[in-house]
Structure 1
Amino acid sequence: MTSLLREWEDHLALARRRSPHTVRAYVASAARLLEAVSLPSWQTVAALDVAALRAQLARRRADGLGNNSAARELSALKAFIAFAREQTGSEAQPPRMRGPRVKKGIPRPLTPDEAVNLAAAMTEGGRAEWIGARDRAVLLLLYGAGLRIAEALSLTGADLPLGDVLTVTGKGGKQRAVPVLPLVRDAVADYAAKAPFPAEAKEPLFRGARGGALGQGAVQQAVARARSALGLPPSATPHALRHSFATHLLGAGADLRSLQELLGHASLGSTQIYTKVDAATLLDTYRHAHPRA
């Protein structure tokens, strides 16, 4: 069982170049399936059918799994069985089973003022000055350049000084070029000047209080404190700033293809959700402003 999981993990991380989070989730799903399989091997996994998938999902449902998690679990299991069939040379197609319906929620962006105020609030709270400058720089990279939080935290000292364009490595190891506003460049330069740690080429640019790589949890906690001080809703998260970046660009006239490139989406379908966000914003404005609404 251990060797099967190790091969599956290597395939996901090296061949498919999945994110660490996806690799962990898919390996965990495979491990749960193998625990329910008698004498686990590539042959036994490859022989699993729709009935076996239904039984596994039923067990997970009994543990309280919701629709979103069940859909992800099914996707992971189907991919695992497909990989097993590749390993055994089987030409059979993976089990065809439709997952639960998942309602895609519309991201809730911040207003431009809220986004800027949230970033500014990171410098307050009685913490060390360089830590406030660090958190402000990270948030401005999310809102000003549309980076994912993991992408911002993956920057190293070699990326300094930031120029007009920054090359970012996103999901699946895909690179893209994103423009960097002067405000963002200045914020990152300010942090680098105040940080007590040297910005070495191969070391993380953003450091924690003890000098290690800054984790996403620390940024999320800092944002939670700032939004509480500003009276913003719980939806005002670091990732909401990326949503705000996309929504505000679309509202200003950016086309979907350009937005897709800036966000690093693999498919246009992932970007099209922002058309719904913009429509929702317009409708909300109409309802609050139109005398007949």
Structure 2
Amino acid sequence: MKKFLIYTAKILLLTLLVAVLLDGLYTKLFMSSHNRGKIEQVFNSKAQKFDVVILGSSRANNHFAAPMFEEKGLKTFNYGMSGGHLFEASLMLKLMIERKYEIKNVILEADLNLSNEHQAEGISAKFLPYIHESKIIKDHFSTEKDFNELYYIPFYRYIKYDSRIGFREAFFTAINKKTNALDHLGYYPLQKHKNGNMKNNIVNLNPLPHNKYYEEIKNLCKTNHINFIAVMTPMCENTAGMNYFEKVKKAYPEIHNYENVVIGDEYFASCGHMNDAGSKIFTARILNDFFEKKINEKK
């Protein structure tokens, strides 16, 4: 029995040692990454200056044509993340501020995700390689139910989220393989597809009266003297429950409602996402409404 216990203890000790070594190796790889995605690009960056930073979900990533801002002389990057929630958008802004980014304007896509305060696990996992390297990331995750496992068990986070930060991602990071996430200044243009889903139902969706992460973003902007522009972006006409946007406006009167600015299925790749043509019409409207006066003053 004694030999068995000693043998078991050795196996456990060896397993722990391997986990610690692998955790350190993976973390070191991600700490050197700059061109795989938006999160590591921000985390591993130094101070930058932007006229406009765009935050939100895929409805930011696919709807704000960042190159059109640049054409107007506004240094811009679209940090919208497909699948992301306000949980991740708030953390991105915190990291930018920690890295001394100088930001004049933040445009936040704030509509459907106001209905929850959940993390989007597939996206939030991309922050986890840095959880021991950043108090901001640690604190942001500290209220999540699995925080202790993620923080204290070596290599656990890499195993749990293997599809996002596991071996494949670590390998591609090691060989410096680029993705298209940073192309077009972060904007991801969609094309019109004949089988795109042009129906949606948001009848049961309700905005929270005080979304924690929306309030965080708004307060971060106020504290750091950043002009905060929150907008609702378009959806296709064949959406049940469009009064959701009226509910948002009632709960958050400062959010600008642009859900009906682009009309016509020909401008949508799916019901919740405009194609490139629709996004350019929408972006032109945003530029005109919020930046045209400033642009003309520069001339």
Q: Shorter-normalised TM-score: what interval? A: under 0.3
| Larger strand share, 1 or 2 | 2
TM-score (norm 1): 0.24
TM-score (norm 2): 0.24
Larger radius of gyration: 1
| Larger helix share, 1 or 2 | 1
